[in-house]
Structure 1
Amino acid sequence: MFKFRKPLLVMGAGLLMSLSLLAGCGSVKPSSEAAAVSAKPGEGSAVASTGTAASASEGKTIKHMWGTTQLKKVPQKIVALDFAYIDMLTALEVNPVASVGIGESSFPEYLKDRFNAKNVINVGQAKQPNLEVLKSVKPDLIIASPNRHEMIKSQLAEIAPTIALDDSSYQAILSNFTNLADVLDKKEQADKVKKGIAEKIASAQEKVKNKPSVLVVGAFEDDSTVWLKSSFIGSLLTEIGTNYLFEGKKDLSAAESKTDIAKLSLERLGEFNPDYVFMYGEPGKWLNNPLYKNLKAVKENKAVEVSRDLWSKGRGPLAADLILEQAVKIMTGGK
């Protein structure tokens, strides 16, 4: 917590007057505990904090996707409006007071052994949180998605200081995680988590040979989708030495248009014909299709069904750690 220095009471009129004059020249009384400071939207994709514990009375200024926000103290009641932020907070051993669900998941299932959801208030779906419920928890910090929550950013800012963090790529996640830790005075814990991920990536790079081609695909009855190379999952798999094949653009008409995906037909998947296909959703619908059976990955038993909750909805340092573990095990035969 930030601490504020109390003035000393000094006896003697002359000395008291001198001290008063000095204080008038050098002190600034904070007008509120937390205040938002506007800046150009989209200025910087990661959080950047300024200020140190030595100048705690001035707080810290956080630079984010919607501008800058100034905090006068370390936030205690935090609302996480996407799974990525629940992941980040859990990695920092901080429990939010409120969070959101995505689809049928009320919180990231892969965090069930680490995230205590018992006393966390659900404020609705990530794509449309209930602002009245959110307001009732009286947060002192809201972490929002720059894409999902663009239309309600002014309402969120009226409730509490709000920051919008980019979670599109693995690199952006780690950058924001580092600086969020600084804001929450959790640098030591963040360093520990990042060291573990760096070691796992280095190990994966040694084990994953010959740059295998890969794609992460959502197989569904209506629209099947593929994650972009620049996405969180695409950038993470690229980092360990795979050749992630889909470098196309985000498709706004896709089912999950707020994320970095594009539509992908089975015919198009056959054109890519990757060494490995990581699938979630309803891949069983393809089993009897000749196009599916003719895929190289299917013929070589390298078409693998994975958890949608982790590989699609999961984004954050803890998700990265688990995905790396699973991916390397699959691509190295469990070595």
Structure 2
Amino acid sequence: MNRCTALILTTLLSPLAVPAHAAPVTVPHDRGTLTLPAPARRVVALEYSFVDTLLALGVRPVGAALGTQGGDRGAPPYLRGRVVGVVTTGSRAQPSLEGVAALRPDLILADTLVHRDVAPALGRLAPTAVFPSRRADLEQLNEQTLLIGRLVGREAAARQLLADQKSLITKARAFARKGAPAFVAGVVTPTSFTAHTAGSFAGSFLEAVGRRNQLPVRDGQTQYELSLEGLVALQPQTLVLFTAPDETPVTASWAKNPLWQKLPAVKRGRVYTFNRDDWTRGRGPTALKLMLAQTIESRFLQDAAPGSAFKYGP
């Protein structure tokens, strides 16, 4: 086989290659319906869940919101090795329109909440699909995996990802102790505790694997802040904290308050901590595999005292 023939075959067999006879693709999204003349080959992803999903589908984005402007933390560590060389188009909160335009994308993936003000401008640069990534639950994000798969010509791969995920969740549920008390979960930063209800990604995921979320969506908000007093009022039997290893969470100061010591979860020794880079920032198929493993390893599903790697120690 000569070099020219090998190059042609490589191109044809590439998951990003789109045959000349490719049919148009139509998907619904939060700003209407998007139709592409053929599956997208040059994709810019403005949320980490989109980056995670594309990579899981075997598609490398040409650009992504991986910057740290506006106080963002950049790509979650579990993704960093896989996005080396992907052009940074600003941060999620502050995408660079000039940077996006320079990449000549044929598809932009944007977030309903974060990019609501710039979505019209993005749409003038290239076809743009807008999905509720930041405030979506597990079911909505799975729907997005399928739609993104369709947009990039990888729908069969997306369906396989979801089938594999369903199988893993079923296996994880076997570890869940029946009758275990409900949990309260929240992202904890140096200044705030943001509760993740049953309508959030992490909150709905933990329900999917067999534990009950104590908090329903409140006034349409899937996530909302709680004070220490607000947390005490809930009297949680189990507490799940999503923290960052390079930050000191606000709960470190709360732990010095007698009110914290009176929390049933603290008394029971059922305060679990997970890395929020894995749990609340990626929100894609790859992150979900990490999360599934950690729910078992931490002994959260079993409602047993957390192992040392997941035990909260302020």
TM-score tier (shorter): 0.7 to 0.9
Name the residue aligned to 1:43.
none
Name the residue aligned to 1:100.
65
Name the residue aligned to 2:127.
161
- Residues of 2 paired with 1:308 and 1:169: CA distance? 16
Listed one character per residue, the Cα deviations across residues 199-234 of structure 1 (whole Å, up to 9, x for unaligned) are 221122221112431122123443321112111111
Given candidates 208, 219, 229, the residue that maps to 1:239 is: 208
SS in 2 for 1:151: coil
Deviation larger for 282-291 or 129-138: 282-291
Give yes or no for contact 2:201–2:280 (8 Å, CA) kept in 1.
no
- Residues of 2 paired with 1:96 and 1:221: CA distance? 32
The reply on whether 1:215 has 2:184 as its aligned counterpart is yes
- Greater than 6 Å deviation, 4+ residue runs: none
SS in 1 for 2:281: coil
Identical residues among aligned pairs (%): 27
The aligned amino acid for 1:69 is: L
- Residues of 1 paired with 2:61 and 2:89: CA distance? 12
SS in 2 for 1:144: strand
Superposition TM-score, scaled by structure 1 size: 0.76
Name the residue aligned to 1:229.
198
Give yes or no for contact 1:2–1:74 (8 Å, CA) kept in 2.
no
Given candidates 215, 229, 234, the residue that maps to 1:267 is: 229
Give yes or no for contact 1:156–1:162 (8 Å, CA) kept in 2.
yes
- Residues of 2 paired with 1:193 and 1:242: CA distance? 23
- Residues of 2 paired with 1:196 and 1:298: CA distance? 36
The aligned amino acid for 1:94 is: V
Runs of at least 5 residues in structure 2 that lack an aligned partner in the other structure? 1-17, 244-248, 308-314
The aligned amino acid for 2:202 is: I
Deviation larger for 179-188 or 63-72: 179-188
Deviation larger for 295-304 or 172-181: 295-304
Listed one character per residue, the Cα deviations across residues 146-190 of structure 1 (whole Å, up to 9, x for unaligned) are 111111111101111100123301001111211221232223322
SS in 1 for 2:143: helix
Instruction: Decide whether aligned partners of structure 1 residues 61 and 321 sit closer, same or farther in structure 2, where only a CA change above 3 A counts.
Output: same
Given candidates 38, 55, 69, the residue that maps to 2:34 is: 69
Give yes or no for contact 2:39–2:150 (8 Å, CA) kept in 1.
no
Runs of at least 5 residues in structure 1 that lack an aligned partner in the other structure? 5-52, 253-259
Instruction: Decide whether aligned partners of structure 1 residues 329 and 91 sit closer, same or farther in structure 2, where only a CA change above 3 A counts.
Output: same
**CA RMSD in angstroms, aligned pairs only:** 2.2
- Residues of 2 paired with 1:301 and 1:110: CA distance? 29
Which structure is larger by alpha-carbon Rg, 1 or 2? 1
- Residues of 2 paired with 1:159 and 1:286: CA distance? 47
Superposition TM-score, scaled by structure 2 size: 0.80
